[in-house]
Amino acid sequence: MQFNTFSIVGRCLKTGELGVAVSSAVPAVGSLCIYIEPGVGAVSTQSWVNPYLAVAALAAMRDQADAQHALELALSRDADLHLRQIGAVAARGHGAAFTGDSCTGWYGHLTGTDYAIEGNMLVGAETLAAMSRAWHESCDMALAERLLLALEAGDNAGGDRRGKQSAALKVMGTEVYALVDLRVDEHLEPVVELRRIFEVAKLQLIPFVQGMPRLYGQPLALPESVMRMLLKCPADRP
């Protein structure tokens, strides 16, 4: 399936968290485009999606390759790389991206120290430029918030020229489970809906996840107020 879309792959320099935010005018974009391995890297594979590119790139990062080298290794095995678009960050090093010359226009990508922004079948270059500005202007915020702000900026700047349908946000820390993993699979305003769900998650889900068992270190204590809240029916919660 062709996932003409826009996304940002990012790393938090303070915590080491890795994440992806993505939106598209096809359903369930988060189900096939986002790949993250804690402590290793994060990838968004799009256009004519090849999930094995993400798998191969993460395997190379696991062997200490930086994001650029990992993408080069993955793409070298793909006969249809001219149809692919992919962005990645490793646990260390500069972000990297690749856009094949047969992707549907407008297409392009931007990279920086801790991010990669990419998109195809877009209204224009301003989508990516707006995402980059939002990323740089939010450097003091948590990774999930920064990724979502960048996605919102891209959406407001035009996004996918066909329209809107789905969006997703995923962030991982050091555990095998995600800190944040939210999807809007079919909606008229998916990025707006993703923000609404994220605000609910900040009150009802994220505090619970922070109190879950950890492989290393102690979890945060679940506040008594959160425990009482989660015992209520959803309609009675904030």
ω into residue 48 within 30 of 0, thus cis?
Answer: no
Q: What is the pLDDT of residue 161?
A: 67
Where do the structural domains in the chain lie, given as residue ranges?
Answer: 2-204
Residue ranges of the chain whose pLDDT lies below 50: none
CATH 3.60.20.10 for the 2-204 domain, yes or no: yes
Other C-beta atoms lying within 10 Å of the C-beta of residue 57: 31
According to the model, what pLDDT value does residue 158 have?
85
Contact 35, 172 (CB under 8 A): no
Taking alpha carbons only, the member of 138, 153, 142 closest to residue 7 is 153
Cα angle value 71/74/78 (rounded, 5°):
125
| Confidence at residue 196, expressed as pLDDT on a 0 to 100 scale | 98
pLDDT of residue 102: 95
C-alpha separations of 195 from 31, 110, 167, 191 in Å:
18, 24, 10, 6
* Amino acid found at 176: V
* Alpha-helix residue ranges (DSSP H) falling in the chain: 30-33, 51-62, 67-75, 126-137, 143-156, 190-204, 206-210, 224-230
Look at residue 236 in the predicted model and tell me its pLDDT. Answer: 83
